[in-house]
């Protein structure tokens, strides 16, 4: 089955080949579209002041938690000298 | 006839104002201690993403900021705000960045003294047609958290988080234009203190813009603070010896 979002530039947006899982994924995307679409039709796109409430929605909370669970949890913030050695010409330690 | 791409690049070169190349725009490498006259210490400005903000949330925010009723930022959740900002801003072509300023503990471990989340590409309040960098959130490490990581000094943090925001604006070609909106939460005294601290950083309160359109859909209130090109220059010039 081909994917609605199959695109080599956005591989993470590939939908599941499992029909039940795919249905759930599409439902979530539809919900996001509904929220953003409604707010735009009302001419009330989300503002900075809305962010804290938006960030507490189950979708954002659980997606963030799932993403964070895949990252290493450190006991501290690492070696100062190792960070210092990674500064670029603008004096910033970049992540890319 | 439309100019060919090479003509366009020449046109843009000829019409562009003269500014420093972005590689010459530098972040600070030293941070002053809070008590005047007590000198500066080595510091690092570091980009932060989910991993770094997760560490901040778990090691600094949750144990030291969330329980403190005096902190206006006690309910914040940085990783979730990063998710929200990516979702809300990427589709508008706005760039979300976060930066931490780190110092060293006596044992050589990095310790953050403050963190800021910035979004570049917003209309700049008070300058029609110009874009700027909006400071979405900024926060400093409480003294108790610094002590827990072995750092007994206190530092000048907010002005240097704002300095980093000005430099980030310049890296994006936005000429140092920076805006922020003062948190409406807290007691009147807490809000007054916040306003005083922003003004002390050289930010201009745009209260005369109250009611004027910020975009097609929004009007400004009196709680916007900005650096324009000139005030950004004045702000960062002050900290140039630290770069």
Yes or no, beta carbons of B47 and A48 under 8 Å apart: no
Q: What is the pLDDT of residue B7?
A: 36
Yes or no, beta carbons of B44 and A83 under 8 Å apart: yes
Return the percentage of chain B with pLDDT > 70, whole number. 84
pTM for this prediction: 0.84
Q: What are the residue boundaries of the structural domains of chain A, listed by start?
A: 11-84
Yes or no, beta carbons of B79 and A64 under 8 Å apart: yes
Yes or no, beta carbons of A63 and B29 under 8 Å apart: no
Q: What is the pLDDT of residue B117?
A: 97
| Interface ipTM | 0.82
Three-class SS state of A73:
coil
Could you tell me the pLDDT band of residue B89, with boundaries at 50, 70 and 90?
confident
> What b/e sequence results for A14-53 when a residue is b if at least 16 CB atoms lie within 10 Å of its CB, and e otherwise?
ebeeeeeeeeebeeeeeeeeeeeeeeeeeeebbebeebbe
Q: Cβ of B149 under 8 Å from any chain A Cβ?
A: yes
Residue-wise DSSP of B176-239: T-EEEE----S-HHHHHHHHHHHHHTTPEE-GGGTTSBSSSS-B--TTEEEE-HHHHHHHHHHT
Of the two residues B18 and B108, the one the predictor is more confident about is B108
| Residue A6, Cβ density class (10 Å: 0-12 exposed, 13-18 middle, ≥19 buried) | exposed
Q: What are the residue boundaries of the structural domains of chain B, listed by start?
A: 29-242
Measured between beta carbons, the chain B residues lying within 8 angstroms of A61 are 80
The C-alpha of A8 sits at a distance from chain B's nearest C-alpha, in angstroms, of: 19
Of the two residues B141 and B89, the one the predictor is more confident about is B141
Yes or no, beta carbons of B83 and A78 under 8 Å apart: no
Measured between beta carbons, the chain A residues lying within 8 angstroms of B102 are 77, 80, 83
Tell me which of A56, A58, A77 to substitute to probe the interface with B (most B C-beta atoms closer than 10 Å): A77
First to last CA, chain B: 47
Residue B8 has pLDDT above 50, yes or no: no
Q: What is the pLDDT of residue B216?
A: 56
Measured between beta carbons, the chain A residues lying within 8 angstroms of B216 are 43
Q: What is the pLDDT of residue A44?
A: 74
The residue of chain A with its CA nearest to that of B29 is A91
Query: CA-CA distances (angstroms) from residue A83 to A78, B42, B44, B103?
Result: 8, 12, 8, 10
Residue B26 contacts residue A62 (beta carbons within 8 Å): no
Yes or no, beta carbons of B28 and A91 under 8 Å apart: yes
Tell me which of A92, A94, A96 to substitute to probe the interface with B (most B C-beta atoms closer than 10 Å): A92
Measured between beta carbons, the chain B residues lying within 8 angstroms of A49 are 181, 184
Of B22, B75, B217, the CB nearest to A43: B217
Q: Which CATH code fits B29-242?
A: 3.40.630.30
Average pLDDT, integer, range B126-154 = 95
């Amino acid at each position: 089955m081909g994917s609605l979002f199959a695109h080599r530039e956005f591989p993470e947006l590939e939908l599941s080949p499992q029909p039940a899982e795919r249905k759930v994924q599409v439902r979530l995307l539809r919900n996001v579209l509904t929220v953003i679409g409604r707010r735009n039709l009302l001419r009330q796109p989300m503002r900075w002041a809305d962010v804290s409430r938006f960030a507490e929605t189950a979708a954002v909370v659980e997606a963030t938690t799932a993403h964070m669970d895949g990252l290493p949890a450190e006991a501290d913030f690492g070696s100062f000298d190792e960070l210092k050695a990674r500064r670029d010409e603008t004096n910033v330690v970049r992540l890319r | 006839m439309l100019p060919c791409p090479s003509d366009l690049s020449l046109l843009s070169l000829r019409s562009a104002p003269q500014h420093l190349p972005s590689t010459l725009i530098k972040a600070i490498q030293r941070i002053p201690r809070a008590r005047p006259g007590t000198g500066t210490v080595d510091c690092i400005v570091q980009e932060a993403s989910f991993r770094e903000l997760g560490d901040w949330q778990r090691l600094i925010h949750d144990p030291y900021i969330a329980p403190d009723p005096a902190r206006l930022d006690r309910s914040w959740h940085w990783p979730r705000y990063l998710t929200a900002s990516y979702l809300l801003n990427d589709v508008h072509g706005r760039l979300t960045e976060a930066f931490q300023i780190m110092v060293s503990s006596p044992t050589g471990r990095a310790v953050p003294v403050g963190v800021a989340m910035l979004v570049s590409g917003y209309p700049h309040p008070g300058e029609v047609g110009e874009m700027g960098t909006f400071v979405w959130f900024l926060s400093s490490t409480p003294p108790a958290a610094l002590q827990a990581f072995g750092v007994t000094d206190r530092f000048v943090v907010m002005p240097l988080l704002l300095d980093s925001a000005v430099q980030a604006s310049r890296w994006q070609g936005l000429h140092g234009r920076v805006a922020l909106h003062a948190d409406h939460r807290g007691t009147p005294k807490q809000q007054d203190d916040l306003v005083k601290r922003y003004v002390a950083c050289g930010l201009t309160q745009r209260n005369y813009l109250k009611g004027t359109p910020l975009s097609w859909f929004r009007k400004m209130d009196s709680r916007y603070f900005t650096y324009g090109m000139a005030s950004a220059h004045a702000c960062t010039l002050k900290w140039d010896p630290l770069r």
